[in-house]
């Protein structure tokens, strides 16, 4: 875990799993390296590389290498353009930083930059080939030569009505070309995707631009066109609670951006019915409360 906002500045935390049950270590980063929040960070050959992010309220372009063995920091070449809330990943040769935004910790339109750092030469290249400028995508997932950039947010008036993207963009690091992947079931930003070996898993994230939250689990199977989502039960007392999921400003529940047919009419037909063909509210509202997960209910989309 590299940096953070406010109290998280100038801290680097890492977990050592060599001994059971494992231990956390915290390292103080010298202020000269400007280790802030929403940085782009990767691991390669025993070192952690981190670039950009928000430091003292502003976006920086500095980049740093931290050696785990020697516990030492060293500066590397600055980014061509400093960004925060970007998507990022690395292979054995290069560090990729995609999109992102500048300024402080507030939503913005974002950039269409693809910035690539080559480890062996300590040099950067910047292009503006990213197909949809935006920020808030979370880390990228690099599988073989395919870099997956998922979701994101924007304040662009020409963007999605709720300000969050469903789209998945895939960069081929060999051909240097972008293709469009299978969309998410609904738009999300502030996510942390993880590759399990067969699918990309996303837990939580935000469903509207800016501050919001969810307890949604999404699995993106690799090599198929099927996307699944699972709504998680998080109560210990078996009471259903959707209070924190989605309300209008008048405190009424709102499912506008959650489920629509292609003709823009709301449709819950395939979501949840009893065997007598009546809708069943119980399992529909068994969504979010607390942080401990106790069961899962799946819906193929």
Q: What percent of the chain has pLDDT over 70?
A: 70
What was the pLDDT predicted at 161? 83
Query: Where would I find the beta strands (DSSP E) of 173-294?
Result: 177-180, 194-195, 199-203, 216-221, 228-233
Taking every pair of Cα atoms in the chain, the longest distance, rounded to a whole number of angstroms, is 67
Beta bridge partners of 134: 111
Q: Pick the most confident of 21-25, 210-214, 258-262.
A: 21-25
The residue count of the chain comes to 301
**Taking 50 as the threshold, does the pLDDT of residue 111 lie above it?**
yes
Q: For residue 52, count other CB atoms closer than 10 A to its CB.
A: 29
More confident residue, 259 or 12: 12
**What is the mean pLDDT of the segment spanning 227-250?**
34
What was the pLDDT predicted at 208? 75
Where do we find the tokens 């949604």? 216
**Four-residue CA torsion sign, 4, 49, 47, 116:** positive
Q: Is the peptide bond before 83 cis (omega within 30 degrees of 0)?
A: no
**What is the mean pLDDT of the segment spanning 121-148?**
96
- pTM for this entry: 0.73
């Amino acid at each position: 875990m590299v940096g953070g906002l406010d109290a998280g500045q100038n801290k680097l935390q890492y977990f050592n799993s060599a001994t059971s049950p494992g231990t956390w270590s915290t390292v103080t980063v010298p202020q000269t390296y400007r280790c802030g929040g929403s940085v782009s960070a990767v691991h390669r050959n025993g070192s952690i590389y981190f670039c950009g992010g928000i430091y003292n309220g502003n976006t920086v372009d500095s980049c740093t290498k931290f050696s785990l063995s020697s516990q030492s920091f060293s500066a590397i070449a600055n980014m061509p353009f400093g960004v925060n809330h970007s998507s990022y990943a690395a292979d054995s040769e290069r560090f990729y930083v995609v999109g992102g935004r500048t300024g402080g910790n507030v939503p913005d339109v974002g950039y269409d930059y693809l910035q690539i750092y080559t480890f062996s030469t300590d040099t950067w290249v910047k292009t503006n080939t990213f197909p949809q400028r935006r920020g808030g995508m979370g880390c990228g997932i690099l599988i073989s030569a395919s870099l997956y950039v998922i979701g994101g947010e924007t304040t662009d008036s020409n963007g999605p009505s709720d300000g969050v993207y469903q789209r998945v963009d895939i960069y081929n690091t060999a051909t240097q070309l972008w293709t469009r992947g299978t969309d998410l079931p609904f738009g999300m930003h502030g996510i942390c995707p993880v590759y399990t070996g067969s699918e990309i898993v996303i837990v939580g994230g935000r469903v509207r631009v800016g501050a919001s939250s969810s307890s949604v689990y999404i699995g993106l199977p690799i090599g198929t066109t099927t996307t699944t989502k699972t709504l998680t039960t998080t109560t210990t007392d078996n009471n259903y609670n959707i209070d924190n999921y989605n309300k209008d400003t008048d405190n009424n529940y709102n499912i506008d951006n959650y489920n629509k047919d292609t003709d823009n009419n709301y449709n819950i037909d395939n979501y949840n019915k009893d065997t007598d063909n009546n809708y069943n509210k119980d399992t529909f509202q068994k969504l979010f409360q607390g942080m401990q997960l106790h069961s899962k209910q799946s819906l193929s989309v």
